[in-house]
């Protein structure tokens, strides 16, 4: 049997699978106060900032915390006039010590919800305990498959035909925790980690702002308790 090799056109993107989100989520009346943690290019930071600017997410970004002086996300923070704090992990004796400073900074900027948008460090109970069920992470796979580093390479090496991205509440175990939103992305013949990542990121930028609103709405409904949504 021969299989045809379809080109990567928008025809494929139209078949993406992502659960519908009800339009009228009962999120808190005042804007959600977000703290964003990022280590890289910050395209997810940008997506959140754009969703807020477009009125699609009732929130404001109080502060960006980044751990890598060369991270491009800092340029985006400047452009959006978001205060940014560099907390370089190399300056701290332990993961806990770094997390203590992160908590201090988040408190200083009156953050209520924390979004790990490409934060490439494991977090500890110090941070998790201070924001119970209020820390979200985005990961470029359909969890629970392909946790940890190199998720996209892992998916390609395994040969899955469908990949995607997941937003979930953060627990101590890396890339675990109740799932808030997911989107499926087809793996196309000839995909490289870069091409697949680019396609997954298009979906990340949609589901991350949605997931923030969903998480907040769920806590409003259930009185600050996060269950799988």
Contacts 24+ apart (CB under 8 A), 180-183: 180/136, 180/211, 180/214, 180/215, 180/218, 180/229, 181/18, 181/19, 181/21, 181/207, 181/210, 181/211, 181/214, 181/229, 182/18, 182/19, 182/142, 182/143, 182/207, 183/16, 183/17, 183/18, 183/207
* Minimum gap (Å) between residue 90 Cβ and ligand GRF: 19
Contacting residues for 19 by C-beta, under 8 A, at least 6 apart: 181, 182
> Cα–Cα–Cα angle for 67, 70, 208, nearest 5°?
60
Q: Which is nearer to ligand GRF, 87 or 220 (CB)?
A: 87
In the chain, the DSSP E strands lie at 32-38, 59-66, 84-86, 113-116, 135-139, 162-169, 179-186
> Cα–Cα–Cα angle for 78, 204, 58, nearest 5°?
60
> Cα–Cα–Cα angle for 13, 19, 224, nearest 5°?
140
* Minimum gap (Å) between residue 161 Cβ and ligand GRF: 20
* Minimum gap (Å) between residue 102 Cβ and ligand GRF: 17
* Minimum gap (Å) between residue 62 Cβ and ligand GRF: 18
Site string for ligand GRF, 164-183 (x = CB under 6 A): -x------------------
Do the strands 135-139 and 113-116 form a parallel or antiparallel pair, or are they unpaired?
parallel
Q: Which is nearer to ligand GRF, 45 or 109 (CB)?
A: 45
* Minimum gap (Å) between residue 158 Cβ and ligand GRF: 18
Q: Which is nearer to ligand GRF, 74 or 117 (CB)?
A: 117
| Known catalytic membership, residue 139 | yes
User: Is residue 138 a contact residue for ligand GRF (CB under 6 A)?
Assistant: yes
Nearest residue to ligand GRF on Cβ basis? 118
Residues 104-133 that bind ligand GRF (CB under 6 A): 117-118
Site string for ligand GRF, 34-73 (x = CB under 6 A): ----x-xxxxx-----------------------------
Residues 192-221 that bind ligand GRF (CB under 6 A): 201, 204
Catalytic site residue from 12, 78, 89, 139:
139
Q: Which is nearer to ligand GRF, 200 or 217 (CB)?
A: 200
Radius of gyration (C-alpha) of the chain in whole angstroms: 18
Question: What residues line the site for ligand GRF (CB under 6 A)?
Answer: 38, 40-44, 117-118, 138-140, 165, 201, 204
Which residues carry out catalysis?
A: 139
């Amino acid at each position: 049997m021969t299989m045809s090799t379809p080109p990567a056109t928008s025809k494929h993107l139209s078949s993406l699978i992502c659960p519908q989100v009800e339009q009228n989520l009962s999120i808190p009346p005042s804007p959600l106060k977000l703290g964003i943690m990022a280590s890289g290019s910050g395209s997810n930071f940008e997506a959140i900032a754009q969703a807020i600017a477009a009125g699609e997410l009732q929130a404001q970004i109080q502060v960006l915390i980044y751990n890598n002086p060369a991270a491009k996300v800092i340029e985006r923070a400047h452009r959006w006039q978001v205060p940014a704090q560099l907390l370089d992990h190399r300056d701290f004796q332990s993961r806990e010590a770094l997390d203590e400073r992160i908590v201090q900074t988040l408190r200083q900027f009156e953050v209520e919800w924390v979004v790990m948008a490409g934060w490439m460090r494991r977090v500890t109970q110090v941070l998790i305990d201070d924001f119970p069920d209020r820390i979200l992470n985005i990961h470029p796979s359909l969890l629970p498959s392909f946790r940890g580093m190199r998720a996209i390479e892992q998916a390609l090496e395994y040969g899955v035909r469908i990949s995607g991205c997941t937003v979930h509440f953060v627990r101590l175990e890396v890339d675990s925790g109740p799932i808030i939103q997911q989107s499926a992305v087809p793996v196309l013949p000839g995909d490289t980690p870069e091409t697949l990542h680019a396609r997954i990121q298009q979906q990340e930028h949609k589901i991350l702002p949605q997931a923030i609103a969903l998480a907040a709405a769920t806590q409003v409904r259930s009185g600050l308790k996060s269950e799988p949504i």
